[in-house]
């Protein structure tokens, strides 16, 4: 039996596409059983439909409270009996009670090297701060925003000529490699969330957990 992934999106869906491709080629020993968007206009819904994946919209604007929205979200997730709730550009913060209910099964990708640059506009803020390295982080979701234990990170060097758009593109390309990799470990049971930290049953190669991406997507390399 392969693990069942429920993917939550709000927009473009490029990570959803990368995860679907990784499932299809067998990199992730799991399958996407449903895609939920909180926005009816999310482009990612079309990606899901084209891949033949079941979709559901749970529009947060139709609920009078965050709690009611999350009850509907939990019902949609339960309907598909997901093993993993995979946040892929899902732009709503959760209440502690939602996080508790799904604790240890809820993962996210964030476009920065956490704990730096939690929240929004990470690429702009990284450029303003003048960092040399930027990147992306896959982490378990806990009640603290972008604060859960880190599963894997991809680092991208910031070039002098980078602007917000070019840096975002480089980070996104790294995300598309990082997230499938991390989900593969989760589906294989290589790690679990144990209290406030990770417990590895089988530690992955350093070059996969700490991905070092060069400027060119296809010449990405790892420390040797």
Q: Which tokens hold the place of 49?
A: 């439909």
137, 179 Cβ separation under 8 angstroms: no
Of residues 186, 128, 178, 127, the one with CA closest to residue 155: 178
Residue ranges in 146-175 that form contacts with ligand GRF under rule CB under 6 A: 172, 175
Residue ranges in 29-48 that form contacts with ligand GRF under rule CB under 6 A: 44
> Considering beta carbons, is residue 19 or 78 the nearer one to ligand GRF?
19
Question: Is 15 annotated as contributing to ligand binding?
Answer: yes
175, 18 Cβ separation under 8 angstroms: yes
Q: Is 123 a catalytic residue?
A: no
Q: Which of 60, 110, 121, 134 is catalytic?
A: 110
The residue nearest ligand GRF at its CB is 89
99, 143 Cβ separation under 8 angstroms: yes
**Interface with ligand GRF includes 180 (CB under 6 A)?**
no
DSSP state string for 74-99: HHHHHHTT-SEEEESS---PPPHHHH
| Site mask for ligand GRF (CB under 6 A), range 89-108, x = bound | x-------------------
User: To the nearest whole angstrom, how small is the minimum distance from the Cβ of residue 45 to ligand GRF?
Assistant: 11
Q: How far is CA 96 from the centre of its chain?
A: 19
Whole-angstrom distance, CA of residue 19 vs CA of residue 189: 17
Out of 30, 34, 111, 204, point to the residue binding ligand GRF (CB under 6 A).
Answer: 111
Q: Which residues bind ligand GRF (CB under 6 A)?
A: 9, 11-15, 44, 88-89, 109-111, 136, 172, 175
Just list the catalytic residues.
110
């Amino acid at each position: 039996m392969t693990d069942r992934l429920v993917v939550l999106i709000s927009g473009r869906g490029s990570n959803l596409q990368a995860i679907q491709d990784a499932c299809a080629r067998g990199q992730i020993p799991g399958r996407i059983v449903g895609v939920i968007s909180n926005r009816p206009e999310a482009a990612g819904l079309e990606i899901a439909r084209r891949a033949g994946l079941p979709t559901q919209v749970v529009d947060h604007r139709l609920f009078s409270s965050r709690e009611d929205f999350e009850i509907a979200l939990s019902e949609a997730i339960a309907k598909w009996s997901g093993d993993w709730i995979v946040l892929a550009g899902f732009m709503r913060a959760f209440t502690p009670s939602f996080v508790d209910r799904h604790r240890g099964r809820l993962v996210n990708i964030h476009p920065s090297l956490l704990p730096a640059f939690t929240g929004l506009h990470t690429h702009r803020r990284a450029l303003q701060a003048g960092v040399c390295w930027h990147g992306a982080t896959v982490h378990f979701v806990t009640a603290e925003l972008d604060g859960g234990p880190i599963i894997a990170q991809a680092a991208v060097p910031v070039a002098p000529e980078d602007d917000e758009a070019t840096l975002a593109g480089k980070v996104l390309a790294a995300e598309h490699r990082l997230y499938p990799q991390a989900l593969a470990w989760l589906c294989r049971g290589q790690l679990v969330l144990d209290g406030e930290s990770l417990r590895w049953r089988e530690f992955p190669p350093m070059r996969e957990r700490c991905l070092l991406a060069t400027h060119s997507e296809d010449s990405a390399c790892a420390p040797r």
